[in-house]
Structure 1
Amino acid sequence: MRVAYLTNYYPKISHTFIRREILALEGQGVEVMRFSLRGWDAELVDPIDQSELEKTQYTLKDGVAPLLLNMLRCMVKRPGPFWKAVKTALAMSRNGVRPWPYHLIYVGHACRICRWMEGKGVTHLHAHFGTNPAEIALLIHILGGPKYSFTIHGMDEADNGGRLAFDRKVGGAAFVATISSYTRSQLMRHVPPDVWPRLKVIRCGLPAGAFEEATTEPSKSPVFLCIARLSAEKGHMLLLESFADVLKNNPDAKLVFAGDGDLRPLIEARIEALGIAHAVRITGWISSDQVRAEIQGSHVLVQPSFIEGLPVVMMEAMAQERAVISTYVAGIPELVQPGKTGWLVPAGDSDELANAMEASITTPHATLIKMGRAGRKLAQERHNIETEVARLSTNFAETC
């Protein structure tokens, strides 16, 4: 079986879950071609990501001109499918997130990828995210390409669900992977019940080795770790307010932000304004090994997200036997169980977040260890990449 993967940006530091999925598929004997719109100039810190870059073909790497040339070529060779694709793209632009010229460009991406796949024996196309990659996958299918599927993750799809033409995208798909039951339920709001059976819960996962590695005990001093892109929806600014309160009674507490992003200047300014620079560290983008080291140096993971799908970093922390503090958002309660594997608080409530952080400090060390072990067991049961990819591969094979 040979499948093609389509993403908007690949490889990407915050999208290691896509890379793991592709490599796990290849480990199970599936050949995978990689297509992406962007990502050839990404600053990468992980050697595996750098290797993936060399395996990926980019539709925009040499500008828009090749897209236009491929559109002309397709219009001449396949006029019927071409004009059907154009009509479909324009229909999806109505009330869309982006205006109609973008959707015509998506036709260009589809035409170019179709040409790349000619004669390659691709049996299935899978896209990640229900935004423009899913639209391009649909257009490729209309142009004569293989059957397709796509994975939705939650944030962009939830923000813009009514403007992403899910009725067309799901209606044309062989199946749709959703990363949690909650995510599946949100997609069910936007598509008719007769296509609900196509919506499959196929979770993101970690390789078996992640659960077999030796773990360390939680730090006996309070070290809160937050692993996320520095962006508004991740709740970093709220976390700073809560941590400043916690610090008043726990002067030895530390907070680590592992990641980088557009919000960094604002976060740094707020750290200075709160007078907590001595207790807060921002790592910037770091490799997978460095992430693991930060987890091992922490006593809990804290992810105060406002909107999410289901953060893979929670699985990574649980694999290292760390309890998690997070919010009652999306698929998070499917993994973080209050009193068993961590703490959950209402999103946006700095007082409740501070209370949970205080509770993690006063919880006996032996109890933190017990919670960490329970989290590892749950994550291993639900988020083993080999199991989840086998489900994905089975669905691929059933469409061939």
Structure 2
Amino acid sequence: MTEKPRVFHLITRLLKGGAEAKTIETVTGLDQYEFVVGFGSSFDSDQVEYLNDNNIYSKQFKTIQHYNPVTSVPAVLSVARYIQKEDFDCVHTHSTEAGIIGRFAAALTGTPVIHTVHGVPFADDRNTVLESFILTCEKLAAKRTDCIVTNADAIKQDYLSRGIGSKDQYTTVYSGIQIEQFDKASPAPDLDTSAISIIMVGRLADGKGFEDLLDALQLIDTERISVYFVGEGPIKNRLTSLIDQYDLHQTVQMLGYRDDIPELMAGADILVLPSYREGTPRVITEAMASGLPVISTNIAGIPEQIQHGTNGYLISPGDVESLAVYIEKLVESQSLRKEFGQAGQERVRKFSVERMLTDIDSVYQTVI
């Protein structure tokens, strides 16, 4: 019997985000391969336990740290030794730090390597020195990559415009979700059904735009609105202070981390995601499957999910005034919310997990 090809996935942080979700869907959904998942110093024990429960071996590399160039060289050597020892058929890297470290490690061992770009790491609100350093590393790592997978065509074009890799290296694989979990979910009981519910789901971190949503609420009448922040993260205390400062504590509730996202979506009316940095956010796909209109930013792969004026609205990052205008439009019109929601449910089929797994398998067949 032919042994299964062995693929080593390496991701910077094994938390509960979109990149991690796509990675876990891949390693648990493609049973014709043997997978190992490596991750850096930051991880969520629930994710490790989930992998173990699904018979996926995982390994931590403590020298892989978020934006810490000091530990990068030791990390490359450590990962290279592990790849060499385990004799993998392919390395599949994710996210910026693990993507750079893992590709250099794979090059040292002569192992074929695939890199998935889950989101564009370049943004106007970042330090220019850091931006330049990341760009240089990405260009060098691309020369050592057999295939670069992007979550959207727009991300591919962005990378090519920056001189990262060549056109023939790229392929687009949209992040997929279990659509049925969302279009058949029952509403969560703890959402206020007497108000128009706006939901924002994501890690409470800089660049997601939580503060922009709070600023937009200052510009509109919030009497009919309930807003829910779903997630945990480092800016939680800052957001709590802003909610108090803006006197929004009766409008905005912070629900923390929740594992019933389909039910929360089913009980909500609008999804808002005014991010500054993204790939092709799974949460938008989930909202589309749930029949929710979406207000988000016109960056990365989001315009490939949201067609402005058809299933949602797109704004420029930081455009709080437009955000407020579009919130008001959707709050005031039930028929518009329904129209946009139905359009999203029709469009979401191209973002199914089944299609994603088929496309990733095709990449593996080509590279391995």
Partner of 1:203: 174
The TM-score, its normalising length taken from structure 2, stands at: 0.86
Partner of 2:250: 278
| CA distance, structure 2, for counterparts of residue 53 and residue 225 of structure 1 | 34
Partner of 2:157: 185
Q: From the superposition, tell whether residues 32 and 47 of structure 1 become closer, same or farther in structure 2 (CA, over 3 Å).
A: closer
Give 1:184's aligned amino acid. K
The answer to whether residue 196 in structure 2 is matched with residue 232 in structure 1 is no
Partner of 1:5: 9
How far residue 278 of structure 1 moved from its aligned partner, in angstroms, is: 1.0
How far residue 295 of structure 1 moved from its aligned partner, in angstroms, is: 0.9
Give 1:36's aligned amino acid. F
Q: Percent identity?
A: 20
- SS of the counterpart of 1:277? coil
- SS of the counterpart of 2:272? strand
Deviates more, 1:298-307 or 1:132-141: 132-141
Give 1:55's aligned amino acid. Y
Q: From the superposition, tell whether residues 47 and 168 of structure 1 become closer, same or farther in structure 2 (CA, over 3 Å).
A: closer
Q: Please tell me whether the aligned partners of residues 274 and 295 of structure 2 are also in contact (alpha carbons under 8 angstroms).
A: yes
Give 1:387's aligned amino acid. R
Partner of 1:71: none
Partner of 1:328: 298
Partner of 1:358: 328
Give 1:9's aligned amino acid. R
The answer to whether residue 244 in structure 2 is matched with residue 269 in structure 1 is no
Give 2:16's aligned amino acid. K
How far residue 302 of structure 1 moved from its aligned partner, in angstroms, is: 0.7
The answer to whether residue 279 in structure 2 is matched with residue 309 in structure 1 is yes
| CA distance, structure 1, for counterparts of residue 162 and residue 276 of structure 2 | 22
- SS of the counterpart of 1:339? coil
Q: Please tell me whether the aligned partners of residues 17 and 203 of structure 2 are also in contact (alpha carbons under 8 angstroms).
A: no
Q: From the superposition, tell whether residues 9 and 215 of structure 1 become closer, same or farther in structure 2 (CA, over 3 Å).
A: same
Map Cα deviations across residues 185-229 of structure 1 (whole Å, 9 max, x no partner): 121023367x2111111111113533663577x967311100011
- Structure (1/2) with the larger helix percentage: 1
How far residue 146 of structure 1 moved from its aligned partner, in angstroms, is: 2.0
| CA distance, structure 1, for counterparts of residue 312 and residue 205 of structure 2 | 24
| CA distance, structure 2, for counterparts of residue 177 and residue 336 of structure 1 | 21
| CA distance, structure 2, for counterparts of residue 53 and residue 189 of structure 1 | 41
Q: From the superposition, tell whether residues 220 and 376 of structure 1 become closer, same or farther in structure 2 (CA, over 3 Å).
A: farther
Give 1:149's aligned amino acid. I
| CA distance, structure 2, for counterparts of residue 108 and residue 375 of structure 1 | 46
Count of matched residue positions in the alignment of Structure 1 and Structure 2: 351
Map Cα deviations across residues 248-291 of structure 1 (whole Å, 9 max, x no partner): 3x41311100011111111111111111101110011111xx21
| CA distance, structure 2, for counterparts of residue 56 and residue 46 of structure 1 | 7
Give 1:25's aligned amino acid. L
| CA distance, structure 1, for counterparts of residue 169 and residue 47 of structure 2 | 37
Query: Could you tell me which of 224, 241, 244 is aligned with 2:218?
Result: 244
How far residue 356 of structure 1 moved from its aligned partner, in angstroms, is: 0.5
| CA distance, structure 2, for counterparts of residue 16 and residue 178 of structure 1 | 15
Q: From the superposition, tell whether residues 50 and 284 of structure 1 become closer, same or farther in structure 2 (CA, over 3 Å).
A: farther
Partner of 1:144: 109
Query: Could you tell me which of 317, 322, 338 is aligned with 1:347?
Result: 317
- SS of the counterpart of 1:172? coil
| CA distance, structure 2, for counterparts of residue 257 and residue 398 of structure 1 | 41
Q: Which structure has the bigger radius of gyration?
A: 1
How far residue 53 of structure 1 moved from its aligned partner, in angstroms, is: 9.9
| CA distance, structure 2, for counterparts of residue 330 and residue 114 of structure 1 | 32
Partner of 1:385: 353
How far residue 44 of structure 1 moved from its aligned partner, in angstroms, is: 3.5
Structure 2, unaligned runs of 5 or more: none
Q: Please tell me whether the aligned partners of residues 211 and 376 of structure 1 are also in contact (alpha carbons under 8 angstroms).
A: no
How far residue 140 of structure 1 moved from its aligned partner, in angstroms, is: 2.9
Q: Please tell me whether the aligned partners of residues 104 and 144 of structure 2 are also in contact (alpha carbons under 8 angstroms).
A: no
Query: Could you tell me which of 117, 121, 126 is aligned with 2:92?
Result: 126
| CA distance, structure 2, for counterparts of residue 375 and residue 326 of structure 1 | 14
Q: From the superposition, tell whether residues 20 and 394 of structure 1 become closer, same or farther in structure 2 (CA, over 3 Å).
A: same
- SS of the counterpart of 2:40? strand
Q: From the superposition, tell whether residues 55 and 308 of structure 1 become closer, same or farther in structure 2 (CA, over 3 Å).
A: same
Q: From the superposition, tell whether residues 227 and 208 of structure 1 become closer, same or farther in structure 2 (CA, over 3 Å).
A: closer
Give 1:223's aligned amino acid. S
Q: Please tell me whether the aligned partners of residues 297 and 314 of structure 2 are also in contact (alpha carbons under 8 angstroms).
A: yes
Structure 1, unaligned runs of 5 or more: 68-96
C-alpha RMSD of matched pairs (Å)? 2.8
